[in-house]
Structure 1
Amino acid sequence: MPVAPPRPRPLPLNALRAFEAAARLGGFAAAAEELGVSPGAVSAQIKQLEDVLGAPLFERGVRGVNLTALAVDVLPDLTGAFDRLATVSHGLRTGAKPQVVHVAALPSVAQLWLSPRLPGLRAAASEIEISVTAMEQPPDLKRAPFDLCLFFGESPGEALAADTITPVCAPALADRLHRPEDLRHLPCLIDTTWHADWSHWMATALPGQTFVPRGPEFSLYALAVEETVNGAGVLMGHEALIAPFLARGQLVAPFATRVTLPRALRLWAPRPLPPGSAAQRVADWLRRQS
């Protein structure tokens, strides 16, 4: 009776993915954020891979981790393999559901810019299904399972709207704001994503003067906008996002000074869009709305 030779134990795919992400991004925490798991899970998967290999991939120290020579040697090939796998996976997803478009967007953009436009998009292309994922940072372009991305930045992609900022408030508070100096006497709402915006605007409105905004902080810009509408204080408004509130009179801009930042609201695709595809049609429609 023939005896089958023992087969080498296959390396666990999830552990390989965790190792590649941690090695490429420079740490377990960054890999965990990209993969949507905890740093402990990444550490455990890498330890599992090291146990199977019988060799370390990271040198662990009090200041973090460093790649071993073995890890440095295999990382480029492994990264290329996962990049290609991501491309194939996206092709499978697109081929299986060609009328579904996956959009990644900054939370404030998803809530305040994209969401009001979705009804019009559905009316214009009812056969297309739009899936929106809110993310604080743009996804890895080679790994992104998304068709389109909407974020503020200086690159990549096409600028849909300039990022022009100016303080805004509810109409009831506007009577108390005649000069920029008056902001010292009112709560100034602070968005943690754009915490430097007050400094950017004040450098133009009050050059040479020190101004430290004092007021509640918000991790969601859309929530800060709602609180500003409710009269909680003055918010540094991004005109691309708050234009409907200004048009309806829910918010007013009490000062003439406006500052346009180097970044802009940008639209891009992680990979080329086939002509006539659902993603291409959505991108064209969004461009017309800017």
Structure 2
Amino acid sequence: MASRLPPLNALRTFVAAARHGSFRAAAEELCVTTGAVSRQVRLLEEWLGLDLFDRSRRQVRLTPVGARYFVRVAELFDQLATATGSLRETGGGRVLHLDCIPTFAMHWLLPRLPVFKVAFPDVELSLFTAPDRIDLSRPLDYAIRRDPGHFAGLTPHPLMSERSAPVCSPRLLAELDGAAMPDGLADRTIIAIRARRDLWPHWCAANHIGVDRLGSRLEVDHTYVAIQAAEDGLGIALVPLLFIERQLADGRLVPVPGCPAVETGRYFLLEHRHRDHVALPGLADWLRRQDGPANPG
């Protein structure tokens, strides 16, 4: 038996396009391309056998039947959101949707989750680890990012600063055998992170060193790969210190003498305020208080 309901993704796309009066604005809200919005709307029109938008002008406009349909469908989506919000509130705890980069989750946030559960016992955490842009098309209450380019449509709350320093394995440090630093970097493999191409140039500028004085390079995609490569003795990595607290504490990584840490950014808690937003007013303050070695006990 054929479904009497049209494709739900097409309906959701139609509501966004109708509400904005623009395929482009709907695409930005849903984090898809304008072409994807157009295809979903066309799919819905073909399913209904009706034109919902007038495309004869440069700006798309709802047809009379499209306007009537939008009123009814938007009302149903509101009812669905209300029912979902009520269920979440009574289903045994609030669900907080948080987005952060994988390295931040692995090396900073996860070791602190036992303390989080003590501070917020009635909150269940749903964690997304996105390496780049923030996807606003899925449930999201907060995100943690360093780059201000992610702030569009979100309310920023400043958290902790980021300081980065060159580190290596104890075995590699022994091989340096007291070499004068930072000049000795020219004779060693430098681990560079493609996602953070700014790190080594910024560190060199802060220490009045030419980038051309660095040694050969091993390039990796992400910070967590650079951390592992440094642990394995493959070179000297310049990484944020907040991500290697445990490695420094247990001796898997050691600072390179004569190579000081420099400030390389600041992290922000980004709040996504929307109708079903789960607000946690104390979250920013709690995160700031965790700026230091994790203590799960």
Q: TM-score, normalised by structure 1?
A: 0.68
Cα distance in 2 for partners of 1:186, 1:166 equals: 16
Cα distance in 1 for partners of 2:83, 2:272 equals: 14
Cα offset for 1:26? 6.8
Instruction: Give the aligned partner of residue 111 of structure 2.
Output: 116
For the pair 1:69 / 2:55, whether they are aligned, the reply is no
Cα distance in 2 for partners of 1:222, 1:120 equals: 23
Q: Output the amino acid matched with 1:153.
A: D
Q: Output the amino acid matched with 1:288.
A: R
Q: TM-score, normalised by structure 2?
A: 0.67
Contact 1:169 1:251 in 2 (8 A): yes
Q: Secondary structure at the match of 2:195?
A: coil
**CA separation of 1:169 and 1:271: change in aligned 2, threshold 3 A:** same
Instruction: Give the aligned partner of residue 295 of structure 2.
Output: none
Q: Output the amino acid matched with 2:262.
A: V
**CA separation of 1:159 and 1:278: change in aligned 2, threshold 3 A:** closer
CA offset digits 1:124-183 (Å, max 9, x no partner) = 444432221101235366x56222222113465233221112211112222425322322
Cα distance in 2 for partners of 1:204, 1:57 equals: 57
Contact 2:167 2:237 in 1 (8 A): yes
Cα distance in 2 for partners of 1:253, 1:235 equals: 10
Cα offset for 1:104? 1.0
Contact 2:52 2:62 in 1 (8 A): no
Contact 1:159 1:265 in 2 (8 A): yes
CA offset digits 1:43-90 (Å, max 9, x no partner) = 74354256556598899xxxxxxx94216999xxx9xx79x9698688
> 1:259 pairs with 259, 262, 266, which one?
262
**CA separation of 1:198 and 1:238: change in aligned 2, threshold 3 A:** same
Cα distance in 2 for partners of 1:168, 1:89 equals: 51
> 2:97 pairs with 102, 120, 141, which one?
102
Contact 1:163 1:238 in 2 (8 A): yes
Contact 1:170 1:228 in 2 (8 A): yes
Cα offset for 1:239? 1.6
Please tell me the root mean square deviation across aligned C-alpha atoms, in Å.
4.3
Cα distance in 1 for partners of 2:10, 2:275 equals: 32
Q: Output the amino acid matched with 1:182.
A: G
For the pair 1:31 / 2:21, whether they are aligned, the reply is no
Query: Can you give the 5+ residue segments of structure 2 that lack an aligned partner in the other structure?
Result: 18-22, 292-297
**CA separation of 1:171 and 1:214: change in aligned 2, threshold 3 A:** same
State the identity as a percent.
27
Instruction: Give the aligned partner of residue 250 of structure 1.
Output: 252
Cα distance in 2 for partners of 1:178, 1:44 equals: 62
Instruction: Give the aligned partner of residue 241 of structure 2.
Output: 239
User: Structure 2 matches for 1:1-290, cutoff 5 A?
Assistant: 14-15=9-10, 17-18=12-13, 23-24=24-25, 31=32, 44-49=39-44, 51=46, 68-70=58-60, 91-92=85-86, 94-97=88-91, 98-139=93-134, 145-154=139-148, 157-175=156-174, 176=176, 178-208=180-210, 210-211=212-213, 214-254=216-256, 255-261=258-264, 263-271=265-273, 279-290=280-291
Contact 2:182 2:259 in 1 (8 A): no
Cα distance in 2 for partners of 1:87, 1:207 equals: 56
Cα offset for 1:92? 4.6
Aligned length: 258
Contact 2:53 2:62 in 1 (8 A): no
Cα offset for 1:278? 7.8
Contact 1:138 1:151 in 2 (8 A): no
**CA separation of 1:207 and 1:223: change in aligned 2, threshold 3 A:** closer
Query: Can you give the 5+ residue segments of structure 1 that lack an aligned partner in the other structure?
Result: 1-8, 33-38, 60-66
